[in-house]
Amino acid sequence: MPATAIELRSPGIDYAREYRALLSFLYQAPFGLMQIAPDGAIEMITPAAARLLLALAARPELDNLYTALADVAPQLPRLVREYRGPSGALCEALRFALPAGSLGPEASVLTLTLTKVGPQMLMAVLNDVTNEVRREQRDLDQRLTDLSRTDALTGLPNRAVAIERLQRLIDARREDESTPPFALILVNIDRFHQVNDSLGHAAGDEILRLLAARLNTQLRRHVRDDGASAPAVVATRVGNDEFAIVVDDLRRSDDIHGIAMRLLDVVAQPFGVGEQQLHVRVSAGIVLAAQAARTGVEMLNDANIAVNESRRAGRGRYAVFEPSMRERAASRGLIEEGLRGALERHELYVVYQPVVELGEEGDALRCTGVEALVRWLHPQRGIVPPIEFIGIAEDSGLIGDLGRHVLAIACEQFMRWRARLGDRAPGTLAVNVSRAQLFLPDLVDMVRDTMCSTEMPPGCLQLEITESMAAEDDEVRVALAELKALGVSLALDDFGTGYSSLSSLHRLPVDLVKIDRSFVSQVDSSNYHRVLVEATVQVARSLDLGTVAEGIETESQARLVRQLGCEKGQGYLYSTPLTAPALEAWLATGACAALP
Ligand code: C2E
Ligand code: CA
Ligand code: CA
């Protein structure tokens, strides 16, 4: 057995000090060194090498490297035999896995490097790389968990991270109330599906990426620049077009409004996608720590409720969550559920409100047409007015089916009246088209098909749209032009509410303006309202548009709107909306009544 020492053949000079230093250095080296003869004989070995080789070797005798490693590295003699060069590596970092208990209490990994250093001399290095291997494994695991926690498209942390972070903040504050408050801002892109539908998914993805980058950099930078005590902001992607921003360390709760405004600002800048500059808007919902639910998931749900509330108030805004919103959302959920069934169970029906000509005083009342208004006969609640379910139908995507249903029923009824009543039948049928319907890709086909199957003459059909939506979108303008091309007429409903603008009237392809009830009802008591009604009638006339005053309830209102030049009227003074048989009865009697 060789000595566990290194012998240096001294060239005659006394290097005793250096020799001892080198010796102790090698003895303490964290790796093992061996000098080997070409036949495998171990000529010198350091203590570290002996310890490692013993753990590896089949037998406890350490006189020959090849025999010691015959089980785990039988190729060594061949490698040496076949190596032709004067010096160089024969094998590099050959790995050996050792079971727990052989070197330490846990499994270990050793490497062996064998190098030819002279014609008759090889050097073997044995290394315990257990720690490095473990570190590598940990890094790899980390990378893998990073992947499972990162959204692949945007590179932002994903939903799991958002929920985890929220949960940590919720728990921390529950434990210690003096922990600074936090907040969650949930951001949802308005009508994102339209971007995908009209520009393709690649453009949609690009917008998501750009938006994510802005949230991650601009918003965070802004918050950081605000001062030393500025809140920490983490942007995550939690759904297709949904981003959750967790704001931590919010020392002044007012700050959240500044952050939310900044957020809407950051998003409002156009996005360059390919050649185009695209504008998107988002709606946001905020949940403050004081209102936080018990879990991160619930908190995200609450934020979503707030997003929906904010969207209903108009897009491109934010709303702060309040617990009462939960009840509203639940009851909306119930209505939505009921509405799905209602369509199948035929619980929806249509009533008709006459539109009359505002002729000269003393003239007979002439009904020129009817407006179809939907009702829901709920099995428990009785008659539910449209105000309670149209918005929900829009939000839940049921509006397409609902609109088709109403149009079909109304057209069928209109044609029955024409067949039965002849001249006395209403001349036009007005049907409301809600905002969301104008964004449906099949609206024009639906109207065409329904007119076709019911044989409804296009000239008798009037579609009522609200002005705010008509003025807004290019897409809507295209839909309106296509509808007009079918031969139907368009009425601008609720004029005076929302984006009231006489000056934009000429840009819309409408034939008729319906002046909102809120103006008509005050026409005889408020100078302002009277002037507005008059101006509307004048502008409409100059553009060759008809006018209808909505919601006339008193004779004095009727007289005034007629004097101001309004051609037609609608309201309880003449008739409430009626079922089809009741309308027939009304036509037989009421229509002949003299005007006030
Ligand atoms: P709208 O299109 O402005 O319809 C007029 C509303 O005013 C109707 O309410 C009608 O009953 C009511 N009204 C008529 N005359 C008077 C009056 O003299 N005084 C008062 N106080 N109210 C009067 P309704 O039927 O509850 O409908 C409310 C809204 O729901 C409608 O407003 C319309 O925007 C929407 N809607 C109704 N049916 C449909 C439908 O089939 N599809 C769509 N998309 N929306 C509909
Ligand atoms: Ca209407
Ligand atoms: Ca109206």
Ligand 1 contacts CB of residue 407 (under 6 A): no
Atom of ligand 1 nearest to the CA of 403: 42
Cα 427 to averaged position of ligand 2 atoms, centre (Å): 17
How big is the chain by its Cα radius of gyration, in Å?
41
Residue 218 confidence (pLDDT) above 90: no
Q: pLDDT tens digits for 429-463? A: 999 999 889 988 899 999 999 999 999 999 999 99
**Conformation bin of residue 274: beta by default, left when phi > 0, alpha when psi is -120 to 50:** left
Under DSSP, the state recorded for 230 is P
CA atoms of 60 and 81, how far apart (whole Å): 25
What is the per-residue pLDDT for 222?
A: 58
Residue nearest to atom 13 of ligand 1 (CA): 551
Q: Whose CA is nearest to atom 7 of ligand 1?
A: 551
d(CA 344, CA 569): 35
Give me the residues paired with residue 32 across strands.
Answer: 126
DSSP string, 92-114: EEEEEEE-TTSSSSS-EEEEEEE
How far, in Å, from the CA of 353 to the mean position of ligand 1?
9
Q: Select from 96, 97, 94 the least CA-distant residue to 113.
A: 94
Structure token digits, residue 568: 């037609």
**408 Cβ below 6 A of ligand 1:** no
What values do phi and psi take at 356, rounded to 5? -115, 160
Q: Cα(551)–Cα(518) distance, rounded to whole angstroms?
A: 8
Q: Stretch 27-32: mean pLDDT, rounded?
A: 84
For the cut 50, the answer to whether the pLDDT of residue 228 exceeds it is no
pLDDT at residue 593, rounded to an integer:
43
pLDDT (0 to 100) of residue 179: 83
Confidence of residue 102 (pLDDT cuts 50, 70, 90): confident
Sequence-distant (6+) residues with CB within 8 A of 256 are 183, 185, 247, 250, 286, 288, 320
- Tokens linked to 356: 């009359």
Q: Which two tokens stand for residue 340?
A: 């799905």
- The pLDDT score that the predictor gives to residue 474 is 77
| Count of positions (residues) in the chain | 596
Mean pLDDT over 95-116 rounds to 88
Q: What is the pLDDT of residue 369?
A: 97
Identity of residue 90: L
Burial 131-170 (b: 16+ CB within 10 A, else e): eebeeeeeeeeeeeeeeeebbeebebbbbebbbebbeebb
Average pLDDT of span 587-593: 68
Q: How confident is the model at residue 9 (pLDDT cuts 50, 70, 90)?
A: low
Higher pLDDT, residue 475 or 213:
213
Q: What pLDDT is stored for residue 466 in this prediction?
A: 86
> Is residue 592 very low, low, confident or very high in pLDDT (cuts 50, 70, 90)?
very low
Task: Please give the number of the atom of ligand 1 that sits closest to the Cα of 570.
Answer: 15
Our answer on whether the CB atom of 551 is closer than 6 Å to any ligand 1 atom is yes
188 lines ligand 1 (CB under 6 A): no
At residue 3 the predicted structure's pLDDT band, cuts being 50, 70 and 90, is: very low
Q: Is the CB of 571 within 6 Å of ligand 1?
A: yes
C-beta 572 within 6 A of ligand 1: yes
> With a 6 A CB cut-off, is 320 part of the ligand 1 pocket?
no
Structure tokens at 321: 């969550």
Among 353, 373, 375, 383, name the best residue to mutate to test ligand 1's pocket (greatest count of ligand atoms within 8 A of Cβ).
Answer: 373
Segment (H or E) for 496: none
Mean pLDDT (whole number) for 199-208: 93
- 397 alpha carbon – ligand 1 mean position (Å): 21
CA of residue 235 to ligand 3 center, whole Å: 42
pLDDT at 427 over 90: yes
Biggest CA-to-CA distance, the chain: 140
Ligand 3 ion local residues (Cβ < 5 A):
493-494, 550
Q: Centre a 10 Å sphere on the Cβ of residue 542 and count the other Cβ atoms it contains.
A: 10
Mutation choice for ligand 1 from 348, 376, 377, 390, CB with most ligand atoms inside 8 A: 390
What is the percentage of the chain residues whose pLDDT exceeds 90? 61
Q: How confident is the model at residue 143 (pLDDT cuts 50, 70, 90)?
A: confident
Helix then strand then coil, in percent of the chain rounded to 5, is 45, 25, 30
CA of 480 to the centre of ligand 3 (A): 18
The confidence score (pLDDT) of residue 500 equals 53
Ligand nearest to the CA of 404: 1
Q: What band does 595 get if pLDDT is binned at 50, 70 and 90?
A: very low
Looking at ligand 1, which residue's alpha carbon is closest to its atom 3? Answer: 494
Mean pLDDT, residues 151-164: 94
Pocket test for ligand 1, best of 339, 411, 432 (most atoms within 8 A of CB): 432
Which of the four pLDDT bands, split at 50, 70 and 90, describes residue 594? very low
Q: Would you state the pLDDT for residue 223?
A: 60
Centroid of ligand 3 to alpha carbon of 438 (angstroms): 17
Q: Is 369 in the pocket of ligand 1 (CB under 6 A)?
A: no
Indicate whether residue 314 lines ligand 1 (CB < 6 A). Answer: no
pLDDT for res 318: 95
pLDDT at residue 534 above 70? yes
CB of 400 closer than 6 A to ligand 1?
Answer: no
For residue 411 the two structure tokens come to: 């057209």
**Average of per-residue pLDDT across 222-227:** 54
Extract the tokens encoding 27: 């003895």
Mean predicted lDDT score pLDDT of the chain = 89
pLDDT band at 191 (very low <50, low <70, confident <90, very high): confident
Per-residue pLDDT reduced to its tens digit, 371-405: 999 999 999 889 999 999 999 999 888 999 999 99
* Strand bridging mode 366-378 / 546-549: unpaired
Evaluate whether 387 touches 374 at the Cβ level (below 8 Å): no
- Tokens 């053949």 correspond to what residue? 9
Cβ of 494 below 6 Å from ligand 1: yes
To 5 degrees, how large is the angle CA 421–CA 426–CA 431? 135
Specify the pLDDT at position 401.
96
High-pLDDT (> 70) share of the chain, %: 92
Q: How far is the CA of 429 from the centre of ligand 3 (A)?
A: 14
CA distances from 580 to 205, 350, 370, 412 (A): 50, 8, 11, 11
**What pLDDT is attached to residue 253?**
65
CB atoms within 5 A of ion ligand 2 belong to 432, 464, 493
Residues paired with residue 34 on neighbouring β-strands, in sequence order: 45, 124
Which of the ligands is closest to the CA of residue 551? 1
pLDDT above 60: residue 1? no
Under 8 Å between Cβ of 121 and 90? no
Residue 360 CA to ligand 2 center (angstroms) comes to: 25
The minimum-distance atom of ligand 1 relative to the CA of 410 is: 41
Mean pLDDT along residues 119-139: 90
Work out the average pLDDT over 479-484: 94
> Which single residue is written with the structure tokens 């000529």?
43
